[in-house]
A and B are shown apart, each in its own frame.
Chain A
Amino acid sequence: AQLQKHVLYTTSFAIRLALVAYGDYQDRTMAVKYTDIDYHVFTDAARFITEGQSPYNRSTYRYTPLLAWLLTPNIYLSMVFGKILFIVCDVLSGLLIYRILCLRGLGSEVSSCTTARRVSSLWLLNPLPMGVSSRGNAESVMAALVLGTLLCLEGRCLMRASILYGLSVHMKIYPVTYALPIALSLRTFIRFIGSFLNTELFLFASVAGGVFCMLTALFYYMYGWQFLYETYLYHLTRRDIRHNFSPYFYMLYLTADGAWSQWLGLAAFLPQLILLLVASWAFHPDLAFSCFLHTAIFVSFNKVCTSQYFLWYLCLLPVVIPHLSLSLNQGVGLLLLWFAGQVILFFVLHLNTTSDMHRVYKIVIKSAGWKMMHLIPLYALMCSGC
């Protein structure tokens, strides 16, 4: 069993390394580049840091300065350092999925860990995270942080969990939606209001809040208001009329400069908020499933959605699969539906950027793809969960 585990991790790392090497070859020889534009944005921001300037001098850099600092070896050592870091985080995420599954257990330790190994290969040998990490997207870092938080919470190591949680919220805002399920899972079973007042929850909240505030204060001191705006406020008020998979895209594009723009933004936010609250309360006994649902709802009902957002809930899916009551056929059917939606969405994106196909048809195809991708599997998973 140990040998099989080592073979699995070594193979998955080797495949990712081979993809990085191939990507380097494609970038040098072909017109269509393998590396994502975001990787160049990270590298340019890291270059500004090595010259003693702010990473926000690079336009369209809208991430934490921590990421640019992490990637400064791209300038000092080699451009490929960042990609190696991302694929290491990717494989680490697979290991964390395995450990969470072992902890959640399905019976005897041996069988649960055997199942855990098979299920974690759904992530480790999955071409989607392989492609995303080898292209230079930083989503695997977030996946590792979120899975680390979940593992520590499942193992009741609250101090480590709170530090990782604070760090993950600093890097991207979306884990803040996990606050309610985490709070619900940490409360003691007394009266409703009183159950929130306990030492564990207080400790978790203060350490996580402290880590977040400390990092924010440090980077605010270094880079000023631009850090706050680009890292957080831009994403909260973002109405991206370009490169957007969200079903709200066309509505927001048509009303971008109108008087109703703010009200429509709020109207789009309310369904998201209501579903998050209801899902927290309905599924809080199973923290992993609750976090998965939260992320899926957040991504599906968000005003902005790009291709990397899918990784946010995909990393939590292997953790919840063993506890679903779906049959194999149903599971495979939903997976095919999701893949079909993905193909449609990427096909439309390709048409959007490379040809002159009429926009309305693209919108219709895109929303049909979105619906298939998210809502139907979401509904089915909810029916079978817990």
Chain B
Amino acid sequence: MMHLPRIYERGLKDSFPQTIKQEGQVAFASLTKTFPITILMYIVLFSMVTCLSTCYCLIDDGENEKHCGPLKQWFESTSVSVEIGKKGFHREVVTTVELSPDVVAEVNVLLIYRWPRGVYLDPYQLAAESDQRDWQILLNSDIDLEVPAHKTSGFVTYVYPTLDGPSPRLLKVTIPIHGRYSEPSFIGKTFTSVNIEPPELLLRTEKCMQLNNLDPHNVMDAPCTADNSSTCSWVKIQCQQEHAPVSFQFPVGDRTLVMPVCGGTLLVTVICCVALSKYMWKHHI
């Protein structure tokens, strides 16, 4: 058994219960003195943090307001119009966009076309001619080039025009489209109409990322670019002047003529077949 030196033995024996008690009393005393100061420090710290974050938000909002504010004004003086060029089954849809004079140079433009089922775009033609155009296109689905109109549905395309010049004002996008064959008419109509709605115009700028100040009905998500690698929030511009959809007509067959057409075709064919066979049989067999 180890013997502690006397002095320690005496200290331990005499002061153990008293030390804890005294230490506890000392701690309690110091706590009561320092507690208010601690609380005060936390209050000050919290206030400083709150103040700083508020200031930051205010500064950010200021910047935001500087870049996003004009978006609201762009609503007022932007217009989109559509025209159809060429004739027959192979046409061109020419879209003219007049941007507001306040639009900044670093803006991205997106035109969303909702095509009816009576027309189609040839993705191979678009790919082959891509270097002759200043816009890119993204198709939302595969397009069957040969199916008739009544066996397919409409589709959506995203067109990204390239803006050149320091202050872009006028954009012109010409898209080649082709008509689908429609089913023959049961009521003797000889033409079918196809309506092309003007596209939706969407704008986005890198500098305005906080769109929560704007009406949520006008903000929508769409691919950022034609390669569809990411999605961005775009602002939909409700144009001041709403242009009516354009329409054009394709000829269709007349199903009320089915009996005379079938009868006539088969009769002519049989007559030709009999005449040729008769000659061959008579003279060469």
Contact A359 B285 (CB under 8 A): no
Within 8 Å of chain A (Cβ to Cβ): is B39? Answer: no
Residues of A within 8 A of B148 (CB): 241, 256
**Closest B residue, CB atoms, query A271:** B273
**Closest B residue, CB atoms, query A374:** B272
Residues of B within 8 A of A281 (CB): 285
Residues of B within 8 A of A78 (CB): none
Residue interface mask A261-281, B partner, CB < 8 A = 1: 000100110010011001101
Contact of B128 among A40, A268, A358 (CB under 8 A): A40
Contact of A358 among B124, B190, B281 (CB under 8 A): B190
A282 and B280 in contact (CB under 8 A), knowing A242-B181, A254-B261? yes
Within 8 Å of chain B (Cβ to Cβ): is A257? Answer: yes
**Closest B residue, CB atoms, query A254:** B258
What 13 new A-B contacts, CB under 8 Å, besides A251-B266, A281-B285? A59-B146, A241-B181, A250-B261, A251-B261, A256-B148, A258-B258, A274-B277, A275-B273, A282-B281, A301-B269, A301-B273, A360-B254, A382-B279
Contact B90 A278 (CB under 8 A): no
Chain B interface category by residue count:
35 or more
20 inter-chain pairs at a CB distance below 8 angstroms, sorted by A residue, are A40-B124, A40-B128, A242-B146, A247-B265, A247-B268, A250-B253, A251-B261, A254-B255, A254-B262, A268-B266, A278-B280, A282-B281, A283-B280, A354-B87, A356-B87, A356-B88, A356-B251, A359-B190, A367-B268, A379-B279
Within 8 Å of chain B (Cβ to Cβ): is A203? Answer: no
Residues of A within 8 A of B277 (CB): 274-275, 278
Contact A60 B146 (CB under 8 A): yes
Chain A interface category by residue count:
35 or more
Within 8 Å of chain A (Cβ to Cβ): is B145? Answer: yes
Residues of A within 8 A of B273 (CB): 271, 274-275, 301
Q: In the complex, A169→B258 CA distance in Å?
A: 36
Contact A282 B146 (CB under 8 A): no
* Main SS class of interface, A: helix
**Chain B 228-285 interface residues, beta-carbon cutoff 8 Å to A:** 249, 251-255, 257-258, 261-262, 265-266, 268-270, 272-273, 275-277, 279-281, 284-285
Within 8 Å of chain A (Cβ to Cβ): is B89? Answer: yes
**Closest A residue, CB atoms, query B280:** A282
Contact of B88 among A242, A283, A352 (CB under 8 A): A352
Contact of A254 among B124, B184, B249, B275 (CB under 8 A): B184
Contact B253 A254 (CB under 8 A): yes
Contact B285 A282 (CB under 8 A): yes
For A241, A253, A255, which residue has the most chain B Cβ atoms within 10 angstroms?
A: A253
Q: In the complex, A59→B124 CA distance in Å?
A: 9
**Chain A 145-168 interface residues, beta-carbon cutoff 8 Å to B:** none
Q: In the complex, A257→B88 CA distance in Å?
A: 24
Residue interface mask B116-149, A partner, CB < 8 A = 1: 0000000010001000000000000000111010
For A241, A254, A367, which residue has the most chain B Cβ atoms within 10 angstroms?
A: A254
Contact A255 B262 (CB under 8 A): yes
**Closest-CB distance, A361 to chain B (whole angstroms):** 10
Contact B251 A267 (CB under 8 A): no
Within 8 Å of chain B (Cβ to Cβ): is A378? Answer: yes
Within 8 Å of chain A (Cβ to Cβ): is B183? Answer: yes
Contact B145 A251 (CB under 8 A): no
Within 8 Å of chain B (Cβ to Cβ): is A335? Answer: no
Within 8 Å of chain B (Cβ to Cβ): is A355? Answer: yes
Within 8 Å of chain B (Cβ to Cβ): is A44? Answer: yes
User: Which B residues are within 8 Å of any A CB, using their own CB?
Assistant: 86-90, 124, 128, 144-146, 148, 181, 183-184, 190-191, 249, 251-255, 257-258, 261-262, 265-266, 268-270, 272-273, 275-277, 279-281, 284-285
Residues of A within 8 A of B251 (CB): 356-359
Within 8 Å of chain B (Cβ to Cβ): is A329? Answer: no
Q: In the complex, A386→B283 CA distance in Å?
A: 11
Q: In the complex, A352→B87 CA distance in Å?
A: 10
**Closest A residue, CB atoms, query B284:** A282
Residues of B within 8 A of A228 (CB): none
Q: In the complex, A122→B275 CA distance in Å?
A: 30
Residues of B within 8 A of A242 (CB): 146, 181
Q: In the complex, A268→B275 CA distance in Å?
A: 16
Within 8 Å of chain B (Cβ to Cβ): is A108? Answer: no
**The 7 A-B residue pairs with the shortest CB-CB distance in the complex, in nearest-first order:** A271-B273, A282-B284, A354-B88, A359-B251, A282-B280, A251-B265, A355-B87
Within 8 Å of chain B (Cβ to Cβ): is A2? Answer: no
Q: In the complex, A281→B285 CA distance in Å?
A: 7
A353 and B89 in contact (CB under 8 A), knowing A247-B269, A254-B255? yes
**Closest-CB distance, B65 to chain A (whole angstroms):** 48
Residues of B within 8 A of A386 (CB): 284
For B257, B268, B277, which residue has the most chain A Cβ atoms within 10 angstroms?
A: B277
**Closest-CB distance, A223 to chain B (whole angstroms):** 20
A378 and B261 in contact (CB under 8 A), knowing A44-B124, A254-B255, A352-B88? no
A383 and B279 in contact (CB under 8 A), knowing A254-B257, A353-B90? yes
Residues of A within 8 A of B183 (CB): 256-257
Residues of A within 8 A of B190 (CB): 358-360
Within 8 Å of chain B (Cβ to Cβ): is A298? Answer: no
Residues of A within 8 A of B254 (CB): 254, 360
**Closest-CB distance, A265 to chain B (whole angstroms):** 12
Within 8 Å of chain B (Cβ to Cβ): is A123? Answer: no
Residues of A within 8 A of B272 (CB): 271, 375
**Closest-CB distance, A304 to chain B (whole angstroms):** 13
**Closest-CB distance, A288 to chain B (whole angstroms):** 16
Within 8 Å of chain B (Cβ to Cβ): is A248? Answer: yes
A251 and B262 in contact (CB under 8 A), knowing A274-B277, A386-B284? yes
**Closest-CB distance, B278 to chain A (whole angstroms):** 9
Residues of A within 8 A of B89 (CB): 352-354
For A44, A58, A251, which residue has the most chain B Cβ atoms within 10 angstroms?
A: A251
Q: In the complex, A207→B181 CA distance in Å?
A: 44
For B183, B265, B270, which residue has the most chain A Cβ atoms within 10 angstroms?
A: B265
**Chain A 327-386 interface residues, beta-carbon cutoff 8 Å to B:** 351-360, 367, 375, 378-379, 382-383, 386
